[in-house]
Structure 1
Amino acid sequence: MVEPVTLESDEERSLLAQPNCGDGSWRLNFDGVQLCREQREKKLPRGLHDCLGVLGPEDNVADYYQQQVEMLEGFNEMDALAERGFIPGMSKEEQEKLAKSETFAIRISNVANMALFAAKVYASVQSGSLAIIASTLDSLLDLLSGFILWFTAFSMQTPNPYQYPIGKKRMQPLGILVFASVMATLGLQIILESMRTLFSDHEFNLTMKQEQWLVGIMLSVTLVKFLLVLYCRSFTNEIVKAYAQDHFFDVITNIIGLIAALLAKYIDDWMDPVGAIVLALYTIRTWSLTVLENVNSLVGRSAAPEYLQKLTYLCWNHHKAVRHIDTVRAYTFGSHYFVEVDIVLPAGMPLQEAHDIGESLQEKLELLPEIERAFVHLDYEYTHKPEHAQAN
């Protein structure tokens, strides 16, 4: 929520009945507030504190200038949306070409996940290594999470306005929450089995043929995953980047699992269950972070202050008749934001004109890719209490 924004004098908006007149001088404008090129491109020296992961004074200065650049870029984006009615970007042909490439990257990742999971299941059966089984469980997580993303995406494409009047986009984080809970349980089961093996007299044995199959399969899987990391990282799409991160983590877990199995054969048996415990703990930690992220998206967490600044800037520059901005809220409701805006218009403005101003602002807000729905409330003063009481 933001504080009410007001012009210095209401006389500056004396021509409210003619909203399209004038040269736009009433708008907020940051064209003259641009950082010089030296400030934008300056590389501040790094000291010993940077190697130790500690921020120094120069780091704070660099972060400050970076924030200013991002803020001005966000305001320029809002200016383009206010003036042109759309956000400038790639042409339709370029967007379609990029979408096809992203779809291909997702499909080839899913096919690779299925094929490599089958290969790792075979390696697990042949070797009996708990570390390899734990690594295979991580691959199962990737495979099933991809299926959940596909299923929820398919479900969201078949809306039912009577049973789901605001859509089904919250099905995706909900499905991930249920799935993550099941996978955490499997991870705990592997830890318990590894602890039992660790304190028993179980001996870990691999024949030469089993070792060759194990090394060949795990190295091949790791190589394919590494190539997929390089390919998926070339995209800017968040989903494809998430696949790249999953592939990278698979490379790490495959290497750890293989090393643990080989150390158990050539050094000591206890190294295999310890490797399995490490991988299971890593899996539980990864999915715990995923759970927290999806919980935050469902409980209505507020957007960052920088994003609220952009929305406030867009609302103020939307129309000359806007006298005050009472409230700007943006909060998560699934993977996107719901936005609530309260603007103050002149008390004597005709209903038709006020409605058109509010509706056009709503349409502008919903053009932003992060926003699912926007609600614009029109008022004639801002001294009253908020319309909606805060829940306890």
Structure 2
Amino acid sequence: MNDLRSDQIQVLSDNDPTPTSPTGASNQFQHPRPPISPPKELIPMNKLDFITSLEAVLVPNTNEGNAATSDLKRQDRVIAILTTAALITNIVLVIIKIAGAVVSKSLSIISSVVDSVLDLLSSIILLWTAGKVKKRNLYKYPTGRARLEPTAILIVSVIMCATSAQVILETQVRHLTGITAEPLFLQRITHLVYNFRPDIVTKIDTVRAFHCGTKFFVEVDIGLPGSMPLAIAHEIGQQLQEQIEKLDDVERAFVHLDFEFTHLPYSEHKIV
């Protein structure tokens, strides 16, 4: 009977996969099985969204990185194209305005030429600076050359201020204060008066011209015979005035007629 029971216990122990300790106790609590994660369908939606957001932050997305790099390259190409187009446009404008200033001699066009030249100079300086900043030299400039850009902007600002001050001095101050004309223009007026009726005009006493805005006021003193009738003398003076006013740079011309030249020209006017 004891042998039969021992055989039954041996059969049961062979059929039971759970190992037993030498004392006969089960070892199922000493080697626990790994926990099984519940399916996503059983996770609440707020927790699922939180896990998804963490994955988006922690796991890099190579597609988005490539797209961002492509966008940056495309933006650089667009900037380079626009910068080159602006530079070419400024060059064309400078050439056209210089031609217009030479032909018209207008101070407004000259001022516009100065502005266009400054814009062109600024573009060239900033492009050169941007190229230097991109070329890094760790041995010569350990901290980079990014400071070149504000330095270039400062230089351009100083040049623009100095040029603007010079333009204001030339166009708004000198021409409005009645400064005398250049010697070349005075020679031109003298040559015109000398060749006007040399058979009647006995002497050229004074030729003056001074700025009045962008053009000139001209004053001429000529000598005529004392015995000449007033009507004829007036007609000669009127003709000479019209000849001088035909010049493009002349706003008004005043012709004074006299028959003696012993007095000084300035003695006839008040000194201010």
TM-score by length of 1: 0.43
Q: 1:260 aligns to what?
A: 129
Given the alignment of the two structures, is residue 227 of structure 1 paired with residue 227 of structure 2, yes or no? no
Given the alignment of the two structures, is residue 324 of structure 1 paired with residue 203 of structure 2, yes or no? yes
Distance 1:345 1:234 in 2: 44
- Secondary structure of 2:175's counterpart equals helix
Q: 1:375 aligns to what?
A: 254
Per-residue deviation, residues 174-208 of structure 1 (Å, max 9, x unmatched)? xxxxxxxxxxxxxxxxxxxxxxxxxxxxxxxxx65
Larger RCO, structure (CA 8 Å, separation 6 or more): 1
Q: Is the 8 A contact 2:111 2:167 kept in 1?
A: no
Aligned Cα root-mean-square deviation (Å): 2.6
Q: Is the 8 A contact 1:222 1:250 kept in 2?
A: no
Distance 1:325 1:293, change over 3 A: same
Distance 1:332 1:224 in 2: 35
Cα drift, residue 351 of structure 1: 1.3
Given the alignment of the two structures, is residue 277 of structure 1 paired with residue 154 of structure 2, yes or no? yes
Which of 202, 213, 225 in structure 2 is aligned with 1:346?
A: 225
Aligned length: 185
Cα drift, residue 303 of structure 1: 1.7
Cα drift, residue 324 of structure 1: 1.7
- Secondary structure of 2:271's counterpart equals coil
Larger Rg: 2
Amino acid in structure 1 at the alignment position of 2:238 = E
Given the alignment of the two structures, is residue 289 of structure 1 paired with residue 166 of structure 2, yes or no? yes
Q: Is the 8 A contact 2:205 2:222 kept in 1?
A: yes
Amino acid in structure 1 at the alignment position of 2:207 = V
Per-residue deviation, residues 50-82 of structure 1 (Å, max 9, x unmatched)? xxxxxxxxxxxxxxxxxxxxxxxxxxxxxxxxx
Distance 1:231 1:329 in 2: 35
Q: 1:218 aligns to what?
A: 83
Q: Is the 8 A contact 2:180 2:210 kept in 1?
A: yes
Cα drift, residue 213 of structure 1: 4.3
Per-residue deviation, residues 94-141 of structure 1 (Å, max 9, x unmatched)? xxxxxxxxxxxxxxxxxxxxxxxxxxxxxxxxxxxxxxxxxxxxxxxx
Per-residue deviation, residues 346-379 of structure 1 (Å, max 9, x unmatched)? 2222111111111111000000111111111112
Distance 1:211 1:282 in 2: 29
- Secondary structure of 1:281's counterpart equals helix
Distance 1:374 1:213 in 2: 58
TM-score by length of 2: 0.60
Which of 300, 303, 307 in structure 1 is aligned with 2:178?
A: 300
- Secondary structure of 2:254's counterpart equals strand
- Secondary structure of 2:209's counterpart equals strand
Cα drift, residue 212 of structure 1: 4.1
Q: 2:3 aligns to what?
A: none
Aligned positions of 1:49-88 closer than 5 A: none
% identical equivalent positions = 35
Q: Is the 8 A contact 2:244 2:250 kept in 1?
A: yes
Distance 1:389 1:336 in 2: 24
Amino acid in structure 2 at the alignment position of 1:304 = E
Cα drift, residue 243 of structure 1: 5.2
Cα drift, residue 381 of structure 1: 1.3
Distance 1:345 1:314 in 2: 17
Cα drift, residue 231 of structure 1: 4.6
Amino acid in structure 1 at the alignment position of 2:129 = A
Distance 1:332 1:231 in 2: 27
Q: Is the 8 A contact 2:118 2:160 kept in 1?
A: no
Amino acid in structure 2 at the alignment position of 1:330 = A
Cα drift, residue 249 of structure 1: 3.9
